[in-house]
Amino acid sequence: MGALASGTAAAIGTGAFSSVSANRDIDVEVADDASAYLRLEGTGGDNADYVTDDGNDGTLTIDLSPSNDGVAGGGEGVNPDAVTQIGNLFDIENQGTQEVDVTVAKHGDNADLVAFYPDGEAYDGDSLTDSAVTLGAGESTTICLEIDTEDSGLGDGDELLDSVTFSATA
């Protein structure tokens, strides 16, 4: 009887612990947007002048403002009380090892006037704010931009967005 009790206690009591602290090495580097696991890079197409990499830290920048010296013709922004669509703007590519759902969060006083669309959904499907685009490892999509200032009351010099956040969730 005693042997049975001690055998049962040994089976139940082994492997129990309250806490573990284990140091391990980890190697993580920051890469510019074109080299990161979620690649963000201009397409080099017709609208390439609106997309730059910042040069300082390699982050993607979309510039539709008067300060964009690269835009031929001297345009200074989008039209008031209009819908502006800019296709083939930049690519998002999953350079990771697993499938991800990509969404966009927009920040700014007039963020609701701006929409980012994956190429196949451009302008009439779900935007990346409303619905995620799923990218398998190695897959990409071209992003299109729509700015709707109709009935917004915005005029010359008004800001639309402060920034956008791209999120990829496995």
Rounded distance between C-alpha atoms, residue 32 and residue 52, angstroms? 12
**Band of residue 67 on the pLDDT scale cut at 50, 70, 90:** confident
The closest of 107, 150, 103, 99 to 127, measured between CA atoms, is 103
Rounded distance between C-alpha atoms, residue 37 and residue 109, angstroms? 30
Mean pLDDT value of segment 92-121:
94
The predicted-structure confidence for 7-46, as pLDDT tens digits, reads as follows: 555 555 556 778 787 888 887 778 888 889 999 999 988 8
Rounded distance between C-alpha atoms, residue 41 and residue 28, angstroms? 21
Domain ranges of the chain: 2-169
Tokens 């619905």 -> residue:
131
The predicted-structure confidence for 130-160, as pLDDT tens digits, reads as follows: 999 999 999 999 999 999 999 999 988 888 8
The answer to whether the beta carbons of residues 59 and 33 sit under 8 Å apart is: yes
Give the per-residue pLDDT at 4. 46
**Band of residue 74 on the pLDDT scale cut at 50, 70, 90:** low
Tokens 């704010």 -> residue:
129
What is the residue-averaged pLDDT of the chain? 85
One DSSP character per residue, 112-137 reads GGEEEEEGGGTTTS--TTTSPEEE-T
The answer to whether the beta carbons of residues 106 and 159 sit under 8 Å apart is: no
The closest of 102, 109, 107, 150 to 130, measured between CA atoms, is 102
